[in-house]
Amino acid sequence: MRSIHVNRLLLAVLACVLLMIPQCHAQGFVLQVTERTNDGLNLYSGAPHPGFLLQDPGPGGLPNALTFTTPAGLVAGDLLLQEPGGGASDLIRWNAINATLVFYSDIDPNDLPPFDPADIGLPLASYPNGLSVFETGLFGQPYSEAGPNGYVYVPLVGQPGSDPANPNNQPTYIIISDIPEPSTLALLILGMGGLFTACLRNRKG
């Protein structure tokens, strides 16, 4: 939604920390996506994973939709992210037909160009298999206009994006919608670094 300019080095550090935390729980692959195609925060289990623009083959799919590849065989469906105060914010779609994840973001009337690639509005139709959640602050941080906001999603078997071939080892999706300014981001990294250290100690224990 909002286009927020941040220090790219801090973003890279944040990306590493964000990916390490869910991996401490020994889950399946970790796919982290933002509203941009070539953002350094777009990662697949730690490796760069840029998006691209493609016609969405799903219900009511729009042209030039922000798309990311996924492993084949994931369950098709839609995850709708709503703002805490109400109103749809983003829609994440999994298409089984071409093994992709599509990131849609609504356009806020107060937003000014340039817009991010995901900012094309939401599709007019949806998969029958859908789930709705409220957008949150990421990794223990409260939701705020400054961010970081989004959602960390680990599907249950049968839910959108789940992996039926690995019922006990589901993927983690880190959906990043709003990213904070550099000063806020630096403080967040320090706090999350402590969380990761504790996570490692718990894993070794």
**Alpha-carbon dihedral angle through residues 128, 78, 107, 181, given to the nearest 10 degrees:** 160
Instruction: Please check whether residue 3 lies inside any domain of the structure.
Output: no
Instruction: Please check whether residue 74 lies inside any domain of the structure.
Output: yes
Instruction: Please check whether residue 204 lies inside any domain of the structure.
Output: no
Instruction: Please check whether residue 2 lies inside any domain of the structure.
Output: no
Strands 130-134 vs 77-82: parallel, antiparallel or unpaired:
parallel
Cis preceding linkage at 114, omega within 30: yes
Instruction: Please check whether residue 157 lies inside any domain of the structure.
Output: yes
Instruction: Please check whether residue 135 lies inside any domain of the structure.
Output: yes
Give the pLDDT score at 26: 45
The DSSP element (H or E) to which 15 belongs, if any, is: helix 8-23
SS3 state at 12: helix
Q: CA–CA distance from 27 to each of 35, 45, 123, 172, 183 (Å)? A: 24, 11, 30, 7, 31
Q: Which residue segment(s) compose the domain that 175 sits in?
A: 8-199
Give the pLDDT score at 180: 60
Give the pLDDT score at 15: 52
Residues of the chain short of pLDDT 70, as ranges, are 1-27, 139, 179-205
Give the pLDDT score at 72: 97
pLDDT in tens, 126-180: 999 999 999 998 867 788 877 778 999 999 999 999 999 999 999 999 999 876 6
Give the pLDDT score at 114: 81
Give the pLDDT score at 9: 46
Nearest to 131 by CA among 174, 86, 94, 171: 94
Give the pLDDT score at 201: 42
AA identity, residue 99: A
Give the pLDDT score at 40: 82
Give the pLDDT score at 113: 79
Spatial distance between the Cα atoms of 176 and 81, rounded to a whole number of angstroms: 11
Give the pLDDT score at 202: 42
Instruction: Please check whether residue 205 lies inside any domain of the structure.
Output: no
Q: How many domains in the chain?
A: 1
